[in-house]
A and B are shown apart, each in its own frame.
Chain A
Amino acid sequence: MAYFIQLVVEGFATGSIYGALALAIVLVKRATGLVNFAQGAMAVLATFVAFGLTQAGVPLILAMAVAFAFAFAFGAGVERFVVRRFEGGDPDTAVVATIGLLVFITGVAALIWGYEPRQFPSLFPLQSIDIFGVFVSVRSLGTIIVLVVVMVLLQTLFRLTKLGLAMRAVADNPQSAALSGLPVSRLLMVGWGLAAILGTVAGVLVAPQLFISPGMLDFALVYALAAAILGGLDSPIGAVVAAWFIGVVENLAAAYIDVIGNDLKIIVPFLAMLIILIVRPEGLFGRKVVVRV
């Protein structure tokens, strides 16, 4: 039983990392209506900024704060100078542009820091604690707590602040929002900036485990996309719940189903996704799109 609980907690922790990235994808999808395939690459770039600073002797917390600021500016810049050029055109074109951006950013990161994985300092001590006979790593607990805090902050932003209200209005209908005087283009930049920060949260959480390299989040992006789709693509809560689900199911399947093991565990969440989407095409938390005539 203790082993089972351990597996579940570890699954939640991995899921939290997918969840942070999935939140970023959902935020961008809601604001601009497109899936940003470069979300992971942007996060890696910002994580590299933190990495570079820690190498130069800057304390980790400060380095992370700078990385978040960098991520915000970079995300806003991508919206302003890349995505906006495709505004009003076919959204698919903009999506392809984000794939180009993924390749470009990964290349730039490799050019500066190389492809070799490097060690990234951990935010949490590498110990386990004993909770009623179950040993849980502090890092796993910390990762889960970080994501929960992020969710609470996001909900507070969207539900209780004027900025959040304005961002929801722009996500709902940018033209209509502009008629109330909302600075739509600036709000879209803020949305992309916030999403980039969320991605960077995933980056700094996962970097100590995977070691930092330009392709570090490639796998996580696939899981995050799966979580975002499973959650309904426009539901932040849905994305996180789906990410946790994926993390836990994957971990349990690897441990308990012999034929799957660690090598094949990646198929489990996708199988689950396939089945759920056949039954509920709008995702777990998505809304059915109702067209009124």
Chain B
Amino acid sequence: MSLLELEDVTASYGFAPVLHGVSFHLGVNDAAGILGANGAGKTTTLRAISGMVPATGRIRFDGTDILGMSPDKIARMGIAHVPEGRGTLGDLTVRDNLRVGAYTRRDRKGVAEDIDYCLELFPNLQRRIGSNASALSGGEQQMLAVARAFMAKPRVILLDEASLGLAPSTARRVYDAIRRLRSEAGVSMVVVEQNAALAFSVVSHAIVLETGRISIEGSKEKLMGMDEVRRAYLGG
């Protein structure tokens, strides 16, 4: 059964179309990847899902049509989006960022437990708990952005280029934590990456976008075995 389903989705910024009929699905407790070069429409696909760009076609989440809903409503339905770049609230402390992430929840005890869990997952954040997010390093900010998304107890996390601008070792640590979230908390994920090796460490299947169209799709094993994918996204 599909948790999230895109059918023939198109999207444009003003008059410039960016997506031309993208379809893909994500199962319950599943992780899917969206790969592709710069400007291929990966970020736009995520933004269409969370209601941040006008789109046409069909987007269903858990049986409900969510296309046309406002971003905050979509978030309240259980989709947490970690946007590209800084997904944190710079003027707020690390702890407040996590509390904002849990805004829609009513279970105080669960929230406190999940904050502890996030701090155990990202020990760096524990050390910076009282600092403003804007004072954190790039890697710490990305960790905070992921933790903040998790705090909402979402059913799906949309992860946009979590490795962007990070040193390779930091990017690997962020993805180690993401894998733990996948396995321990059972959150489904849509992972957008330019670094396909990192994406394949999490996802089981993926699509490859080229100028707003799906050029290749299939299971992780199938994609990893394809020469064009290896050459373009896995470094040979």
> Bound pair: A and B?
yes
Q: Which of chain B's residues have a CB closer than 8 A to the CB of A182?
A: 72, 100, 103
A265 close to chain B: CB less than 8 A: no
B3 close to chain A: CB less than 8 A: no
Q: Which of chain A's residues have a CB closer than 8 A to the CB of B100?
A: 165-166, 169, 177, 180, 182
Are A166 and B87 closer than 8 Å at their CB atoms? no
Q: Which of chain A's residues have a CB closer than 8 A to the CB of B149?
A: 179-180
Are A181 and B83 closer than 8 Å at their CB atoms? no
Q: Mark B76-114, 1 if CB is under 8 A from A, else 0.
A: 100011010001111110001001110110000000000
**If the complex has contacts A165-B100, A168-B96, are A178 and B89 also in contact, measured as CB distance less than 8 A?**
no
Q: Which of chain B's residues have a CB closer than 8 A to the CB of A171?
A: 91
Are B75 and A180 closer than 8 Å at their CB atoms? yes
A182 to B89, CA, bound (A): 13
Q: Which of chain A's residues have a CB closer than 8 A to the CB of B70?
A: 178
User: Separation in Å of the A291 CB from the closest CB of chain B?
Assistant: 12
A183 close to chain B: CB less than 8 A: yes
A233 close to chain B: CB less than 8 A: no
B44 close to chain A: CB less than 8 A: no
Are B91 and A180 closer than 8 Å at their CB atoms? no
B205 close to chain A: CB less than 8 A: no
Are B103 and A180 closer than 8 Å at their CB atoms? yes
B52 close to chain A: CB less than 8 A: yes
User: Which A170-190 residues sit within 8 Å CB-CB of chain B?
Assistant: 171-173, 175-184
Are B91 and A176 closer than 8 Å at their CB atoms? no
Are A181 and B91 closer than 8 Å at their CB atoms? no
User: Which B42-90 residues sit within 8 Å CB-CB of chain A?
Assistant: 50, 52, 70-73, 75-76, 80-81, 83, 87-90
* CB contacts between A and B, total, < 8 Å: 69
Are A176 and B96 closer than 8 Å at their CB atoms? no
A177 to B90, CA, bound (A): 11
A176 to B89, CA, bound (A): 7
**If the complex has contacts A166-B103, A179-B80, are A172 and B152 also in contact, measured as CB distance less than 8 A?**
no
Are B101 and A180 closer than 8 Å at their CB atoms? yes
Are B104 and A181 closer than 8 Å at their CB atoms? yes
**If the complex has contacts A173-B89, A176-B87, are A165 and B81 also in contact, measured as CB distance less than 8 A?**
no
User: Separation in Å of the A27 CB from the closest CB of chain B?
Assistant: 15
Q: Which of chain A's residues have a CB closer than 8 A to the CB of B25?
A: none
Are B87 and A172 closer than 8 Å at their CB atoms? no
**If the complex has contacts A162-B103, A169-B100, are A179 and B92 also in contact, measured as CB distance less than 8 A?**
no
Are B90 and A184 closer than 8 Å at their CB atoms? no
Contact of B75 among A162, A166, A178 (CB under 8 A): A178
Contact of A179 among B71, B90, B91, B99 (CB under 8 A): B71
User: Separation in Å of the A284 CB from the closest CB of chain B?
Assistant: 18
User: Separation in Å of the B69 CB from the closest CB of chain A?
Assistant: 11
B155 close to chain A: CB less than 8 A: no
Q: Which of chain B's residues have a CB closer than 8 A to the CB of A184?
A: 72
Q: Which of chain B's residues have a CB closer than 8 A to the CB of A169?
A: 89, 92, 96, 100, 103
Q: Which of chain A's residues have a CB closer than 8 A to the CB of B50?
A: 179
Q: Which of chain B's residues have a CB closer than 8 A to the CB of A183?
A: 72
A166 to B101, CA, bound (A): 10
Q: Which of chain A's residues have a CB closer than 8 A to the CB of B76?
A: 181
User: Separation in Å of the B136 CB from the closest CB of chain A?
Assistant: 12
A162 to B111, CA, bound (A): 13
User: Separation in Å of the B11 CB from the closest CB of chain A?
Assistant: 17
User: Separation in Å of the A238 CB from the closest CB of chain B?
Assistant: 15
Are B90 and A180 closer than 8 Å at their CB atoms? no
User: Separation in Å of the B70 CB from the closest CB of chain A?
Assistant: 7
Q: Which of chain A's residues have a CB closer than 8 A to the CB of B101?
A: 180
Chain B CB count within 10 A is highest, among A168, A175, A180, A184, for: A180
Give me the interface of B with A, judged by CB distance under 8 Å: 50, 52, 70-73, 75-76, 80-81, 83, 87-92, 96, 99-101, 103-104, 148-149, 151-152
Give me the interface of A with B, judged by CB distance under 8 Å: 162, 165-166, 168-169, 171-173, 175-184
Extra pairs beyond A175-B52, A178-B71, A178-B75 (8, CB < 8 Å): A165-B92, A165-B99, A169-B89, A175-B71, A179-B80, A180-B148, A180-B152, A181-B103
> Top 9 A-B pairs ranked by shortest CB distance?
A181-B75, A181-B76, A181-B104, A178-B72, A178-B71, A172-B89, A169-B100, A172-B91, A179-B81
Pairs A–B under 8 Å by Cβ, sample size 17: A162-B103, A169-B103, A172-B92, A176-B89, A177-B72, A177-B100, A178-B75, A179-B72, A179-B80, A179-B87, A180-B103, A180-B104, A180-B149, A180-B151, A181-B72, A181-B103, A184-B72
